Structure 1
Amino acid sequence: MRRDFNVDRQIAAIPEVVDGLLGMEVPALDPARPILFTGIGTSLHAARVAAGWIAMLTGGRVRPQALDAHDVGTFVPLRAEDQVVVISHRGYKIFPTAALVRAREAGARTLAIVGTAAPEQAADEVLRTCANETAGTFTVSYLGSLTVLALLAAAFDGSPDRAFARALRALPQALAKTLRRGNPAAAAQALSDAEVLLVVGFGLDLSTAAEAALKIKEGAWLWTEAMSPEFALHGTPASYRPGMAAAIIEPAEDDGGRTALLFSVLDRLGLKTLAVGERDGLDLSFVSPHPLLRPLTGIVPLQRLTAELARLRGTNPDTMHGDREPWRSVMTGIRL
């Protein structure tokens, strides 16, 4: 009998949650002032996507930073002219909170992107995404944060047709189509014997790969590493072995043939490799209404893969070991 998880219901709710957020009024970031996006884990991956969006939408005229909230909350220099956007789903972790405190002490403008159940934030402006998740492996809140960040980034779309901004309206439909695409159970079966998993992405897809690697670690309890195709070809092949497997996101941009080369290298070294992308017939596929919006839809088949791997491996993406010893004793005593 197929075991259902809360995370399955969370993933299914993504199109509706994103649709509900698209009408949100968001403040305008000042392109003349430095912009710093920050978070930890899933939130850091969203921060990196947001920084990339603005840099590309402005042709590099505005180049935001995306930094780990542990760094921003401890030692990164902050200035009064900065705009600091802190992403934190539940809004009470140590270092995102510390990042907000340090930014306000420096006189910087502060924005907090948090869930609807998060406590009041010490920020100039607070943008709320969605309710707390019923699964420990966060999925819908990642898409919620990305949606709000996309609304912030859309103000920087100076193209004549404002293609990025207009494409946001097509996101719910694209997400719904993506949920109906492919067979993640078959993809998971192909990876069932893997000891270690590599997830590869180029450009903005690298953040998707990093988010997927974190979800698989959390939900399927399988050690997973994310990297770019060029990094995966440099030095790293010395550690490749047949017991490993890989999921490679086909690039949206020309990467000089490096992803294609990596597919060939992994095949010749005996690694099982899955292809992820927008083409029909791939192991995992997705639909995107705009090349820059791939992070919002490209993560969904990999979230579904996590749930299917959990079913095969007998793990629980809803608890992340929280109901088992020694993880329960060790981790419940650590404040994050």
Structure 2
Amino acid sequence: MCGIVGYVGHRPALDVVLDGLRRLEYRGYDSAGVAVLTGADGLAVERRAGRLANLEARLDEVGREAFAGTTGMGHTRWATHGPPVDRNSHPHRDGRGRVAVVHNGIIENFAALRRELEGAGVEFSSDTDTETVAHLVARAYDGVDGGDTEGDLPASLRAVCRRLDGAFTLVVTHVDEPDRIVAARRSSPLVVGIGSGEMFLASDVAAFIEHTREAVELGQDQVVTITRDGYEVTDLHGEPSRVRAFTVDWDLSAAEKGGHEYFMLKEIEEQPEALANTLRGHFVDGRIVLDEQRLTDQDLRDVDKVFVVACGTAYHSAMVAKYAIEHWCRLPVEVELASEFRYRDPVLDRDTLVVAVSQSGETADTLEAVRHARGQKARVLAVCNTNGAQIPRESDAVLYTHAGPEIGVASTKTFLAQIAANYLVGLALAQARGTKYPDEVAREFNELAAMPSAVRQVLGTVETARRVAASLADAKAVLFLGRHVGYPVALEGALKLKELAYMHAEGFAAGELKHGPIALIEEELPVVVVMPSPKGRAVLHAKLVSNISEIQARGARTIVIAEEGDETVRPFADSLIEVPAVPTLLQPLVSTVPLQVLAAEIARARGYDVDKPRNLAKSVTVE
């Protein structure tokens, strides 16, 4: 949830670090800071609360020449311990100012460690858990607490990490070792970028993609030391560890706005390509294939129950998955909020398949759900957008969405990619279990493969949604209704409005309207209705038309998303947004897009930053 950049090489470190932080600011923007090793006994540190621009303005004030050096690191923070003020901004230092640390995650036992340090006479200057690490590393390096770590920065960090509970990425420098940076990770993202005569560390490859596309993923409880000549990875006891190298399959332009005012608007328009990339390569020789398939067809045939676990937007994609898997595979499916999954003691065994959906692959709640499932001997299949992330590494099989980097905090293209990937999981199960013949699997896949074109068609007609948005900017609340696969779409539409426009918004299953929510209907209240196809779900369509009629009769304003040519809804729609006719199960892929545009445009009309909504971070890597 925070952005981390580290660099050792031949370039001015401050420039490299600041460029990387700009690309990672979406991960955290309560504060920002940098540390540069400037030669013998030199460690220049500056940090400021607020956006990265505040830090850059301060650097201009003090003079950037004071930060001359080729080894440095930086951080953008999303506050967990202590308010977002200057003293709590990273990097943090020890009492003598010789060690600097940046940190992503939460150190759960920091209070006990802090009491121990204070008892030893250490004075703290912040409210954070991170400062604890700076003091512990300094003491280990100085040999204060005994042991064999004196004068050895990697050994000092390993010793400290063995004492820490929680999830963390830690990056550490010391003035006595100006040509190296040491870092460690546990359940929090960190990748190494491999350049020519230079090395990079970052919480996301976007930070160094301008300089190199060659990277290494770090495993759980690994410590890496980088110098300009290379890297060395060990476990927490100093034993050499194996890592997996990979090549980033997108370039710098993919992380830039491309002429759009906001990344989110660019990413909405990238959805046809994201869908196509998600589907590409997954139907080979007449069969559905996954990316890293460590489950056999027999494993899939043995499945007698499916759980889909996720958080936030990914949870809504999981709800859509339930409809598809139950329909195609005749298997019972439960959809669970990952944050609740392990705490309610779900019934799992070797014949249970848990599908874990996470854009980042580092979502803390989902990762813990995966670990709980594995502990109960269930099989786990990950749906993820980030190559080599922790959740895929700890799963039995993986399906990568290949949606490319998503900079906007509110998920758009990754949501549609997750839905498509979940459909592929359903088809893989149906194929293995024989609940669909090969020609039926091929037909379903071909219909899915036509969806990028359908989404492109929707994008060509979103002007109606923009006009509606302009008229809703002053609304106090908006309700969303849907049925069948339209219900999770309604929930996602409400979530987007909450995230971006800070408006009260609620999504309901339309059939529940008379069971309480109709009491909310009043004059001029905007109600967005996601209509099912009159052909595919005629009964539900008729019932939802009745719902709209009731809403309109009570003076509410109806905004209806309906299939092209559905004239039966026109008399009941104050505003009608038409989408292409597609198979029923695939409707979320087209009906979601106008809701994304609606939320983004309402937020813009209200003067809010669409890419960086308040209090939110892109990846929630702590529980």
CA distance in 1 between counterparts of 2:614 and 2:371 reads: 32
User: 551, 558, 562: which is aligned to 1:266?
Assistant: 551
User: 143, 155, 164: which is aligned to 2:416?
Assistant: 143
Alignment-mate amino acid for residue 13 of structure 1 = E
Q: Percent identity?
A: 25
CA distance in 1 between counterparts of 2:520 and 2:604 reads: 28
User: 508, 525, 528: which is aligned to 1:244?
Assistant: 525
Give the structure 2 partner of residue 168 of structure 1.
448
In the TM superposition, residue 80 of structure 1 has moved relative to its aligned partner by 2.3
Give the structure 1 partner of residue 595 of structure 2.
302
CA distance in 2 between counterparts of 1:108 and 1:176 reads: 39
1:220–1:316 Cα contact (<8 Å) kept: no
Q: Secondary structure at the match of 1:152?
A: helix
Q: Larger % of strand: which?
A: 2
In the TM superposition, residue 257 of structure 1 has moved relative to its aligned partner by 3.1
1:164–1:290 Cα contact (<8 Å) kept: no
Q: Deviations over 1:244-303 (max 9, x none)?
A: 211101122122733112212221211111110212586222225322101112101111
User: For residues 71-86 of structure 1, what are the structure 2 equivalents within 5 Å?
Assistant: 71-75=340-344, 76-86=346-356
Q: Deviations over 1:119-177 (max 9, x none)?
A: 23311112222334110111011111111111122242727655422201101111111
Q: Deviations over 1:88-132 (max 9, x none)?
A: 111222210111001111111111111225623311112222334
2:304–2:331 Cα contact (<8 Å) kept: no
Give the structure 2 partner of residue 128 of structure 1.
400
CA distance in 2 between counterparts of 1:191 and 1:283 reads: 14
2:321–2:423 Cα contact (<8 Å) kept: yes
CA distance in 1 between counterparts of 2:358 and 2:510 reads: 29
1:89–1:118 Cα contact (<8 Å) kept: no
CA distance in 1 between counterparts of 2:600 and 2:387 reads: 25
Moved more, 128-137 or 291-300: 128-137
CA distance in 1 between counterparts of 2:541 and 2:450 reads: 30
User: 466, 479, 491: which is aligned to 1:210?
Assistant: 491
Report the TM-score when normalising by structure 2. Answer: 0.49
- Is there any run of 5+ residues in structure 2 with no aligned partner, and where? 1-259, 283-288
1:197–1:225 Cα contact (<8 Å) kept: yes
Give the structure 2 partner of residue 40 of structure 1.
311
CA distance in 2 between counterparts of 1:301 and 1:238 reads: 27
In the TM superposition, residue 241 of structure 1 has moved relative to its aligned partner by 2.1
Q: Larger % of helix: which?
A: 1
Distance 1:211 1:123, change over 3 A: same
In the TM superposition, residue 212 of structure 1 has moved relative to its aligned partner by 1.0
Alignment-mate amino acid for residue 413 of structure 2 = V
User: For residues 61-210 of structure 1, what are the structure 2 equivalents within 5 Å?
Assistant: 61-75=330-344, 76-116=346-386, 119-121=389-391, 122-129=394-401, 130-155=403-428, 156=430, 158=436, 161-162=440-441, 163-182=443-462, 183-210=464-491
Distance 1:309 1:273, change over 3 A: same
- Is there any run of 5+ residues in structure 1 with no aligned partner, and where? none
Distance 1:204 1:96, change over 3 A: same
Q: Quote the RMSD (CA, aligned, Å).
A: 2.5
Alignment-mate amino acid for residue 325 of structure 2 = I
Alignment-mate amino acid for residue 141 of structure 1 = T
Give the structure 2 partner of residue 319 of structure 1.
612
Q: Secondary structure at the match of 1:73?
A: helix
Q: Which runs of 4+ in 1 moved over 4 A?
A: 159-162, 331-334
CA distance in 2 between counterparts of 1:332 and 1:77 reads: 28
In the TM superposition, residue 66 of structure 1 has moved relative to its aligned partner by 1.3
CA distance in 1 between counterparts of 2:598 and 2:347 reads: 39
Paired residues, number? 326
Distance 1:40 1:288, change over 3 A: farther
CA distance in 2 between counterparts of 1:334 and 1:134 reads: 16
In the TM superposition, residue 190 of structure 1 has moved relative to its aligned partner by 3.3
2:360–2:619 Cα contact (<8 Å) kept: no
Distance 1:145 1:31, change over 3 A: farther
Bigger Rg, structure 1 or 2: 2
Alignment-mate amino acid for residue 144 of structure 1 = A
Distance 1:194 1:51, change over 3 A: same
2:364–2:620 Cα contact (<8 Å) kept: no
